[in-house]
Amino acid sequence: MSMTSSQPPLAHTLASGVFEVSHPLIECHLTALRDVATQPLSFRSHVRRLATLLAYEATQDLAVEPVPVTTPLTKTTGGKLSQRIGLIPILRAGLGMVDPVLDLIPTAEVWHLGLYRDEDTAQPVEYYSKLPPGRPVDVALVVDPMLATGGSMLAALETLRRWGVGQVKLLSIIASEEGIRNVVSEFPEVQVYVCKIDPELNDVKYIVPGLGDAGDRIFNTLG
Ligand code: PRP
Ligand code: URA
Convert the pLDDT of each residue in 147-171 to its tens digit: 999 999 999 999 999 999 999 999 9
Question: Which candidate in 121, 135, 162, 221 is catalytic?
Answer: 121
Looking from the CA of residue 145, the nearest atom of ligand 1 is 7
- For 100-109, what is each residue's pLDDT tens digit? 999 999 999 9
118 counts as catalytic: no
Q: Which residue out of 205, 217, 218 has the highest number of ligand 2 atoms within 8 Å of its CB and is therefore the one to mutate? A: 205
Is the separation of the CB atoms in 38 and 213 below 8 Å?
A: no
> Residue 169 and residue 201: Cα distance in Å, rounded?
23
pLDDT score for 7: 46
Is residue 214's pLDDT more than 70?
yes
* CATH code assigned at 154: 3.40.50.2020
Query: How many domains does the structure of the chain reveal?
Result: 1
In a domain, 2, yes or no: no
- pTM metric for this prediction: 0.94
Domain encompassing residue 127: 10-62+80-219
In a domain, 85, yes or no: yes
Is the separation of the CB atoms in 191 and 170 below 8 Å?
A: yes
